[in-house]
């Protein structure tokens, strides 16, 4: 779908979308079309439940005296339209409506007096995010099931300003597409070696990429990560990405993001039930988001120094697989009693976190992981779980999530929970029992954080959606990418 910006004009074909404020108040373009059509739009609203509230949509087909196929009325609520995320959602709703109607071309009139360029950019951004589809393997799809919208034009007073405002958002959208593709791919296509190659593709954007193989990790002592991988024929990888967007930064220490990249998780010897196991292709979503975030920051030339790390493994049962009861020595020197091989993501992150702080001494670390089913029991699919040892970082993450519509809910960390993972045979055990499963998993990770501000995002419930949302079609969501890009842009870029 092509998105463009044009000066004030209306099309003579296709669809034109016009804004309506609360209580059916027609804004300028809508009022003009209503007059030209002899009040057709007013009558259509009166015959419907449409009130002009935010995100409501009403299609008026073949309106009398007008040349266009349809007029799409979209509600903006109170005049002004609300926050940026509201305009992004509006763009998503408009695209969904146009595709379901089979329209090929459309124009959107904004009629916003204040901050119109940014509003136009946000609406375009939401439209782009909603237009995503993963259809790579669909060879016999019926034409009527395919999206039809080919061109969306946003009508503004200053098209050049709108285009400039859209450019960084478009780079983020491209990174979201990239991440959604990675998470959607099956495990026979994306496995540690191929996911590492996808990370290497960022080199063309100026990201420095290193990939550590099994031999190098063994030499370092990353036995927690390697233990997870030892049952698979697919060798593990550790991906280290650096974006040096501000060589003259006042604080030379980078900020760091670490992702769990279990490209397929059978549970290992503690094998999962067969039902639903196919979903475990997206157990690498944490690493996928980190790789995508690095692409977004490099794509929009963010003035910040960032490290991204992905621990990439496949967790399989075999004659060489790690056994329940095994004890491994992590990179930190702490010993871990592995009581359940399906609690593997925390083992991968334990070594990745320690490696990150040991080598880069970052200002802070944020890790992302589809870590526990327990977080879904706690929060469902509406929020991701946030755990942190730092108040400022936690507050910034929550605020950034609200701004982009990726919601976090802070969960507790406390000594009482930490005692639940004390081991009788080693320094720590990798599970703490049935109670507080997401919390004890976070407590485990915290043991591998050495006096560095840190946050853990458990995205198990938000990384894949079974239903459409305004800017997220069902499937892979890339949850966390926009949130972290917002965090960086708002608090850590200089200049």
Q: Are strands 237-244 and 255-265 parallel, antiparallel or unpaired?
A: unpaired
Do 353 and 446 contact (CB within 8 A), yes or no? no
How far is the C-alpha of 126 from the C-alpha of 422, rounded, in Å?
46
Q: Give 193's contacts (C-beta < 8 A, 6+ positions apart).
A: 234, 235, 237
In order of 225, 291, 310, 426, the CA distances from 421 in angstroms are 19, 31, 25, 10
Other CB atoms closer than 10 Å to residue 185's CB: what's the count? 23
What integer pLDDT is reported at residue 14 of this predicted model? 86
CA atoms within 13 A on the CB side of 59: 19
**CATH code matching the domain that covers 2-156, chosen among 3.40.50.300, 3.40.220.10, 3.30.590.20, 3.40.640.10:** 3.40.220.10
How far is the C-alpha of 437 from the C-alpha of 411, rounded, in Å?
12
Q: Where are the domains of the chain?
A: 2-156, 171-491
Other CB atoms closer than 10 Å to residue 240's CB: what's the count? 19
Do 45 and 75 contact (CB within 8 A), yes or no? no
Task: Just list the catalytic residues.
Answer: 272, 346
Residue ranges of the chain with per-residue pLDDT less than 50: none
How far is the C-alpha of 367 from the C-alpha of 286, rounded, in Å?
8
How far is the C-alpha of 236 from the C-alpha of 352, rounded, in Å?
12
Give strand pairing partners of 252.
Answer: none
What integer pLDDT is reported at residue 492 of this predicted model? 97
Classified as helix, coil or strand, 480 is coil
Give the single-character DSSP code of 382. Answer: T
pTM (2 d.p.): 0.97
What integer pLDDT is reported at residue 113 of this predicted model? 83
Other CB atoms closer than 10 Å to residue 275's CB: what's the count? 7
Kindly compute the dihedral angle of the four CA atoms of residues 123, 128, 133, 134, in this order, to the nearest 10 degrees. -140
CATH topology of domain 171-491: Aminopeptidase (3.40.630)
pLDDT tens string 315-339: 999 999 999 999 999 999 999 999 9
Do 397 and 455 contact (CB within 8 A), yes or no? yes
How far is the C-alpha of 23 from the C-alpha of 436, rounded, in Å?
47
Taking Cα atoms as reference points, which of 371, 304, 375, 331 lies closest to residue 227?
331
What integer pLDDT is reported at residue 314 of this predicted model? 98
Taking Cα atoms as reference points, which of 125, 95, 13, 99 lies closest to residue 62?
13
What integer pLDDT is reported at residue 10 of this predicted model? 75
- For the record, the structure tokens of 73 come out as 């009325």
What integer pLDDT is reported at residue 143 of this predicted model? 84
Other CB atoms closer than 10 Å to residue 301's CB: what's the count? 13
């Amino acid at each position: 779908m092509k998105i463009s910006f044009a000066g004030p004009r209306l099309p003579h074909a296709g669809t034109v979308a016009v804004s309506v404020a609360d209580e059916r108040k027609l804004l300028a373009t809508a009022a003009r079309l209503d007059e030209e059509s002899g009040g057709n739009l007013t009558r259509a609203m009166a015959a419907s439940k449409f009130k002009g509230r935010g995100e409501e949509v009403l299609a008026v087909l073949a309106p009398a005296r007008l040349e266009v196929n349809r007029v799409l009325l979209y509600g903006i609520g109170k005049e002004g339209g609300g926050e940026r995320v509201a305009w992004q959602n509006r763009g998503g709703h408009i695209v969904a409506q146009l595709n379901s109607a089979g329209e090929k071309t459309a124009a959107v009139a904004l009629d916003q007096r204040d901050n119109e360029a940014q509003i136009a950019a946000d609406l375009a951004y939401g439209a782009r995010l909603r237009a995503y589809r993963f259809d790579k393997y669909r060879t016999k799809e019926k034409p009527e099931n395919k999206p039809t919208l080919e061109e969306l034009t946003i009508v503004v007073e200053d098209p050049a300003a709108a285009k400039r405002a859209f450019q960084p958002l478009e780079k983020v959208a491209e990174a979201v597409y990239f991440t959604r593709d990675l998470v959607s791919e099956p495990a026979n296509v994306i496995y540690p070696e191929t996911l590492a190659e996808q990370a290497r593709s960022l080199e063309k954007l100026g990201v420095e990429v290193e990939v550590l193989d099994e031999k190098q990790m063994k030499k370092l002592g990353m036995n927690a990560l390697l233990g997870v991988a030892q049952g698979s024929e697919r060798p593990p990888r550790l991906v280290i990405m650096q974006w040096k967007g501000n060589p003259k930064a006042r604080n030379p220490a980078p900020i760091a993001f670490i992702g769990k990249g279990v490209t397929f998780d059978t549970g290992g010897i503690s094998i999962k039930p067969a039902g639903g196991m196919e979903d475990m292709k997206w157990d690498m979503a944490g690493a996928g988001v980190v790789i995508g975030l690095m692409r977004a920051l490099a794509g929009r030339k963010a003035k910040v120094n960032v490290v991204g790390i992905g621990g990439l493994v496949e967790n399989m049962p075999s004659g060489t697989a790690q056994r329940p009861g095994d004890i491994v020595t992590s990179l930190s020197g702490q010993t871990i009693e592995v009581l359940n091989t399906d609690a593997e993501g925390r083992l991968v992150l334990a070594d990745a976190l320690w490696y990150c702080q040991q080598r880069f001494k970052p200002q802070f670390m944020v890790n992302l992981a589809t870590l526990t089913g327990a977080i879904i029991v706690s929060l469902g699919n509406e929020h991701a779980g946030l755990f942190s040892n730092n108040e400022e970082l936690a507050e910034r993450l929550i605020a950034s999530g609200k701004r982009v519509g990726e919601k976090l809910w802070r969960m507790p960390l406390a000594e009482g929970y930490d005692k639940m993972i004390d081991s009788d045979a080693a320094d720590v055990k990798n599970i703490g029992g049935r109670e507080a499963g997401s919390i004890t998993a976070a407590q485990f990770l915290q043991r591998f954080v050495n006096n560095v501000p840190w946050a853990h995002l458990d995205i198990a419930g938000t990384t894949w959606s079974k239903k459409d949302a305004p800017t997220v079609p069902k499937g892979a969501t890339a949850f966390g990418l926009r949130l972290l890009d917002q965090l960086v842009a708002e608090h850590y870029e200089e200049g």
